[in-house]
Amino acid sequence: MPILKPIAGHTSTARIEAYLEKNGRALARDFYNLSWDENQMAGYDEAMKDGVHWSREMDELRASYGNDLPHGGRRARTFVHYVMSPTPEDNLNLEQLRELSRAWVQKYLPDYQAAIIYHDDNQNGIPHAHIVINNTNVVTGLRIQIPNPFELNRGLQDMAKQRGFGYLRDEVDADDGFGKLASKGDEPATLGLSKQEYYLSRAERRVLESGEYSWVNDIRDRVSMAKNLARNESEFRQILDMLEVDVDDNSPKANRADWIYSLRDQGARRVGGERLGYTFGKEALQSRFARSSAARPTIAASKNFMAIAVQATEINDLVELHNLAFTLELNGRYGIAGIDDYARRISSLESKREHVETPRQKDRITAQITQLEQAREFVREKALLPQQRPARPKRQLTPAQKKVAAQRNQAGYTYGDARHIDRGYDQPSRDSRSR
C-alpha cells in the first residue's frame, strides 16, 4: 500500500534540491516540463540528467509569472513536496516505483514542472519517491491549486490496485470499531450509507494524513525546540513563527487556560499544549519563563540550533528536527553545555550502573548512556556546542556588595568566605584552614 504525504514549501527550491541530491544519494531522477522531459527524451542517455538544474528552472519560471510573491496576505506556496512511500509488504523495486510515480504525476499534475527523486535511505532500505511540483502551471502561468490530498491518495490506491500492489480497501475491517459490531460471521462489513469511493478506517486515515502520531509529534518537536531555547514568551512565539507553528489561546470556556498549536497551512490540525505533555502547556511554560534558573543553551549555541532548525523546516526534514529537539531536551536534563560534559555524564552513569541490583535498572541506565552517546555524535557532526563548557561570566557586584566585601576583606576574610557566612555556613577562612 503506497502512502502519499503532501508538504507545502515556501522558499526557493534550491535547498530541497540540495537536500534530496546531497552526497549522491539519489538512486534515480525523473523530470517533467523541464529542460529534460521523460516523454520527449525517452531513449536518451540518463547520464545527461546530471546537467539538469531543476531548482533553478523552477525558480526562474515561478519568478517570471510573479508567483513567488505573497498572495492573499500570506507567504507564497512556492512548491509542493509529495513523498510516495510503499509499505514493506508491497516489495516494490526501484523500477516499479518509478513507473508508478511517473504515471501518477502525468495523470494528476501533467501541466507542472516536476522533479522526482528516488531514495532508499530509510530504516528498511525501501525505495521511496520525493516528488517536487513547482507552483506554476506551464500552460496558463497560474498558481497551483493544491488538489485534495484524499482525492490524490484515492487515485494512487486505484493505480496500485491496477498493478497488483497493496491498496486501501473500500470496506471496513471487521475488527475495527463499529465495523466489528456490524459484521456477520466471517463476512466483512460493507460501507452501506456512505458514498465515498474508499472508506478509511480510523487507523488508515491516520496513516494517510501522515497520521496523528506523525503530525502531533512534528508539532511537539518544534514546540520543544522553542521552549528549550526561548527566555521569555516573546522569544517563544518568535521561534515558533520561524519554525512555522501557529499558537493561539484555547477557548475562554475551557476549564484550564492553554495554548493551541498548529502547523502553518494545516490549520485544521490543532493540538492543545498540555496534550503534548504538561511542560508544553501555557501554565507550565509561563512558569518556566519566569524562572531565571531554567536550563537554556548559550546564545551562540542557540543560534547554531536555530540555523539548522530553520533550514530543516524549509525542506521539511522531520528527522533533523526531531534530532535537534531531542538533543536540546537531553542537554537540558543533564546540564550539558559543552561536548566534554557528555563524557562526564556518561562516566557518572556507568559508575551508577555498577551499583544497581536489578537487570531492569541496568537496562534503563544503559539506555540513558546510549542516548547521551548518540546526542554527542550528533552535536559533533553539526558543530552545535563548543568542546568545553563556556566559562561563566564573572559575577558583577552591586555597590553595596562591594562595600561589604571590602569591609570583610579588611577583617581577614575573602569574598568567598563572606558568602559562606552569609548563607549560614560557619567556615573558617582559607588561612585558618591551611594551618
318-333 pLDDT, tens digit per residue, is 888 889 999 999 998 8
Task: Report how far residue 130's alpha carbon sits from residue 365's, in angstroms, rounded to the nearest whole number.
Answer: 39
Per-residue pLDDT averaged across 264-285, rounded?
A: 84
Last residue of a domain, one of 310, 330, 346: 310
Note the pLDDT tens digit of each residue in 302-317.
Answer: 999 999 998 888 777 7
Query: Does 425 have pLDDT greater than 80?
Result: no
Domain span at 426: 399-434
Pair 154, 231 in one domain: no
Residue 177 lies in a domain: no
Residue 254 lies in a domain: yes
Residue 78 lies in a domain: yes
The CATH number of residue 109's host domain is 3.30.930.30
Pair 48, 107 in one domain: yes
Pair 17, 157 in one domain: yes
Residue 46 lies in a domain: yes
- Asked if residue 257 lies in contact with residue 283, where contact means CB atoms within 8 angstroms, the answer is yes
Pair 26, 112 in one domain: yes
Per-residue pLDDT averaged across 238-264, rounded?
A: 90
CA angle 333, 336, 341 (to 5 degrees): 130
What was the pLDDT predicted at 193? 28
Pair 232, 120 in one domain: no
Pair 151, 43 in one domain: yes
Pair 239, 148 in one domain: no
Residue 144 lies in a domain: yes
Last residue of a domain, one of 275, 292, 310: 310
- Asked if residue 127 lies in contact with residue 120, where contact means CB atoms within 8 angstroms, the answer is yes
Pair 56, 121 in one domain: yes
Stated pTM of the model: 0.55
Rg of the chain taking only CA atoms, in angstroms: 28
Residue 94 lies in a domain: yes
Q: Is 118 helix (H, G, I), strand (E, B) or coil?
A: strand
Beta carbons within 8 Å of 222's beta carbon, 6+ residues apart: 240, 243, 244, 245, 309, 313, 321, 325
Last residue of a domain, one of 275, 310, 345: 310
Least confident range of 49-63, 189-203, 282-296: 189-203
Residue 320 lies in a domain: no
Least confident range of 137-141, 216-220, 292-296, 335-339: 292-296
The burial of 131, by beta-carbon neighbours within 10 Å (0-12 exposed, 13-18 middle, 19 or more buried), is given as buried
Beta carbons within 8 Å of 81's beta carbon, 6+ residues apart: 6, 7, 8, 9, 16, 130, 131, 132, 133, 315, 316
Residue 122 lies in a domain: yes
Higher per-residue confidence, 5 vs 52: 52
Pair 229, 157 in one domain: no
Which helix (H) or strand (E) element contains residue 112?
Answer: strand 112-119
Chain centroid to Cα 402, Å, comes to 49
End-to-end CA distance of the chain: 80
> What average pLDDT does the chain have?
79
Pair 122, 23 in one domain: yes
Structural domains in the chain (count): 3
